[in-house]
Structures are given as C-alpha cells and as structure tokens.
Structure 1
Amino acid sequence: MGGLAAVPGRGRKPDPKKSKGKNINVPEFSNVTDIDPPDYMDGLEFAPMIWRSIVPELLENELLKITDMHNVEIFCMAYDNYRECQKEIALNGITLATEGGSTIKNPALTALNEAVRQMATFGSLLGLDPSSRQRLTGVGNKEQTNPFSGVLNM
C-alpha cells in the first residue's frame, strides 16, 4: 500500500495557519465594495436596479460571500418577475375575460405569488429581512451559543 499518499484526498491536509505566504486559491473580497450585475440582466428593467441597491449594502455589512452570488441572482430575478407581474395586473386587472364570456384569475397572480415566495426565501438567506439579518449577524444576541456563528467571519 505504498501508493496511497498519491491518491487525491488521502494524507494530511495542509494547515493554512502554518503555511507561509498567501493562499492564492482564496480570492480576497474584503476590499470589494460593489459587483456589477451579470450581463444577462442588461435587458431587464428591475433586476439590475435591485442588484445595484442590495449588493453594496450586503458587502458593506459583510453579509455577502462569493458563495452567495447565486442567491443574489435568484433574488434579483424574482424581484424582476414580481414587478413585471405587478405591471401586468395593474394593466389588465386580477381577472381576465375568456373568449366564452366567463372570467378567470389573471395568471400573473400565480406568477406574482411564486416570485414573492422566492424573494422571501432567498432574501432570508441573504439577511434582507430583520429576523434573518439578526440571525446572520448576531446583533442583539447577548450570548453567542451557536458553535457555527463564526463561519460568517471566515
């Protein structure tokens, strides 16, 4: 069994505290104050707007990590869908007339409700509401009893 050390994942992991120099595989984001919205959002009206309003705040409050960027994207797209649905409902109402003369619920209401659920879910993951912000930052807690609370400061 002399070849086990060459197998990926085997052997002792390097201790970053003992390594000399900087770990070039870990990007430094401590000085980042803003991140531009992805190019695919350029044609959208509301997603880039909400991106530009929440990302600097999240970075300033040190709530945003690179691993959270997909949550930011989903939140912004859900917000864009929410606003587009609101415009559709304002324009055509909550019910629509069918060809047969009856009325049906505007499908934009269903899409609106889904967007609201997504915004609540992903906004909570990002600390965009008071209770999740308190949970993520620990502000207001007299005593930290959560052994994983230090993960945010990594």
Structure 2
Amino acid sequence: MNNNAPVRASGGGRKRKTTVQHKSSLTRINPPAELVGPHAVKMWKQQSKVLIDRGTFEVEDAPLLQAYCNAFQRMLDADIEINAQGLTVPTADGSTKMNPVINAHSKYAQQFSRFGSLLGLDPLTRLRMMGSEGGSGDGDEGNEFDGY
C-alpha cells in the first residue's frame, strides 16, 4: 500500500471558489404600474439596477421585486400612521390598547425581509450567493483538517 498520498474523507476540505460571471439579459426594467407609492417606485429603481448590475435579475423576478418594493412602501406608511396615532389607541370603554397598525408594520417588515432575502438583497444571502468562503481570499490554501 502506498502511504505517500494523504487519505481524505469524501467531501472533506474547503470548496474552491468558482466565480462564473452571469450577465443578466436585462439592462433596465421600468417600474410597474402596480407599485403602491413613490417610495416603492424609488426602491424599484435602486434595487433593480443593483440586481441587474450583479447579473442576478431576470424578467421572471419582477413580481418578487414588486412585492419587495410594495412591502417597503406599506411598512413606511405604517410608520407614519404609528407616529401620528401613537403606540396605543383608545378603546370604546375608555381604556387603551396597542395600536393595530403595529401588527401591520410587523407583517410588512417580515415580508420586506423575506422578499429581500429571496432576491439576495441582504448581506448574509448575498455572501452565500457570491460564494464567499469566509477566508482570507487568494492566499488561503485550506485548513488544518485538509490532510485528513
């Protein structure tokens, strides 16, 4: 038996970073009429440009980006309403209860976060999509377990 070659577990070791540049078939996409407000339109213009420049946006992603932008607009609208009404509102019997708009705000914030993650617009998902190894880069030759 030849003992010169190290024995490695299958799948062991660090995966090599492969950078395949994908180019989006789009260069620009206009905001749809279904966006619910000016902040949604502005968000569409900003994020569609980012996604197209990255090469990660295609026409079939447009409904997801639309939902992302509308969730952002509705979250901001809920903020405005909460600031105007306060965190609590009076009830019919004279007591107070939590403003129901807070629940709507929470729902829109969750949608915004989820849709953004699906599009790769949050830092963690972006790192995963870009194949980050978390190491020092080009000079990284592996770790201490690569020989096993």
TM over 0.5: yes
- Counting matched residue pairs gives 114
Q: Distance in 2 between matches of 1:139 and 1:69?
A: 26
Provide, for residues 1-59 of structure 1, a one-character-per-residue CA deviation record: whole Å limited to 9, x for no partner: xxxxxxxxxxxxxxxxxxxxxxxxxxxx8463321111122x61321111111110110
Identity %: 31
- Note the residue ranges of structure 1 that are not aligned, 5 or more in a row: 1-28, 143-154
Equivalent position to 2:75, from 51, 73, 82: 82
Q: 1:58 to 1:80 in 2, by over 3 A?
A: same
TM-score by structure 2 length?
Answer: 0.69
Unmatched tracts of structure 2, length 5 or more: 1-22, 136-148
Task: State the shift of 1:137 in Å.
Answer: 2.0
Q: 1:33: which partner in 2?
A: 27
2-structure distance, mates of 1:65, 1:31 = 7
Once the two structures are superposed, the pairs formed by residues 45-56 of structure 1 within 5 Å of their partners are 45-56=38-49
Q: Which runs of 4 or more aligned residues in structure 1 lie more than 4 Å from their structure 2 counterparts after TM superposition?
A: none
Bigger relative contact order (CA 8 A; separation at least 6): 2
Between the aligned partners of 1:36 and 1:113, the Cα distance in structure 2 is 29
CA distance in 1, matches of 2:43, 2:24: 22
1:72 to 65, 72, 75: 65
DSSP 3-state at the match of 1:32:
coil
Distance 1:30 1:131 in 2: 22
TM-score (norm 1): 0.67
User: Which protein is richer in helix relative to its size?
Assistant: 1
- Cα deviation code 1:60-99 (max 9, x no counterpart): 0112122211210111111011000000011111101123
- Structure-1 residue corresponding to 2:88: 95
Superposition RMSD in Å: 2.0
Letter of the structure 2 residue corresponding to residue 137 of structure 1: M
Report the counterpart of residue 114 of structure 1 in structure 2: 107
Asked if 1 retains the 8 angstrom alpha-carbon contact of 2:25 and 2:58, the reply is no
